[in-house]
Amino acid sequence: MDMSYVKKLKCLLCGTEYDSNEVKYNCPKCGDEGVLEIIYDYPKIKKDFNQDTLKKNKEFSMWRYLPLLPVDDPAKIGPSKVGWTPLYEAKRIRENLGMLNLWIKDDGRNPTASLKDRPSAIAIVKARELGEKIVTCASTGNAASSLAGAAASVGLKSYIFVPQTAPSAKIAQLLVFGSTVFAVRGTYDEAFDLSIKATREFGWYNRNTAFNPYMVEGKKTVALEIIEQMDFEVPDYLFVPVGDGCIISGVAKAYKDMFSLGFIDRLPKLVAVQAEGCKPIVEAVNGDGDVKFVEPNTIADSIAVGIPRNRLM
């Protein structure tokens, strides 16, 4: 069954286009650096998806944007309610900062309390569509918790790779969900590489950012909601925390989608926010433009990524 509006998957390095059934992860020609972008059939989507259909849609979760998601079989969607989280007008913070307007999107309302539930929901759908029984990922915490929870909700096994420095509370959450946890002596980046190796050796379905091309699509739903919650008014700036860079890529993709479909008439400026002790993107922008590895040294564990894997997007 194929009910999605996905047209092609396109490599950001070489430009090669693939059908969705031709490739599972990265571009075969470019290897690990060959991140794929999902290309949608916008003219086809326009026939079925507009402001009127959104107003009539009673599905108040990330799945209200199903035409803009890579789902072939909606019956494979898990039971947990993910998305449609509140957008708060932060009046006191705004006044303290001397700003005219300020909003904060609260994704702590998701099932495992983070935005990462969105891409994990997509990962579970794709895994089930392929008939997979085991899912895996590398994470500093939130992505692991979200995948473990989503997998448990549909009876899939999850094998999670985390750096030994991952917070004990997050590891405990994984164990509660029944995950098998591998604590890696090293950084998140080393855990990432090890999980990819395990996927290639054992065939486990991998959720990793910038390896699995569908994760950006899940993360973009946070911005699709912001667009709708702001009544299709486009903010001047969006500030997005950056680790691997998948969230900010998803936010950009959401605005691109909605601009291409005529929902909005301009694009916002995106500001990448990194920790002082782990800022490879900031250093690249202020330097020669090349993103180089840095040794993470920050308590902001969710963005403690030495080399952003989704940097090309």
Q: Do 234 and 268 reside in the same domain of the chain?
A: yes
Domain span including residue 152: 116-206
Q: Is residue 36 part of a domain?
A: yes
Buried-exposed string 100-139: b where 16+ CB fall within 10 A, e elsewhere:
eebeebebeebbbebbbbbbbbbbbbbbbbeebebbbbbb
Model confidence pLDDT, tens digit, residues 171-189: 999 999 999 999 999 988 8
- The answer on 247 and 192 residing in a single domain is no
Q: Do both 148 and 179 map to the same domain?
A: yes
The domain tally of the chain equals: 2
Write the CATH number for 170: 3.40.50.1100
What's the rounded Cα separation, in Å, for the pair 157 and 240? Answer: 31
| 187, two tokens | 């950084």
Query: Is residue 120 included in any domain, yes or no?
Result: yes
Residue 12: inside a domain: yes
Can you give the pLDDT at residue 141? 82
Decide if 281 is inside a domain: yes
Pair 166, 216 in one domain: no
Predicted local distance difference test score (pLDDT) of residue 59: 98
Q: From 206, 233, 259, give the residue that closes a domain.
A: 206
Low-confidence residues in the chain, pLDDT < 50: none
Residues 222 and 200 in one domain: no
**pLDDT on residue 165:** 86
Residues 196 and 245 in one domain: no
pLDDT of residue 152: 98
Q: Name the domain boundary from 206, 235, 258.
A: 206
310, part of any domain: no
Is residue 95 in a domain?
no
Residue 105 domain flag = no
Cα end-to-end span (Å), the chain:
29
Q: Where among 189, 206, 223 does a domain terminate?
A: 206
Q: Which of 252, 244, 249, 251 is nearest to 281 (CA)?
A: 244
pLDDT reported for residue 4:
86
Q: Are residues 54 and 126 in the same domain?
A: no
298 in the same domain as 241: yes
Q: Which is nearest to 145 in space by CA: 117, 103, 108, 183?
A: 117
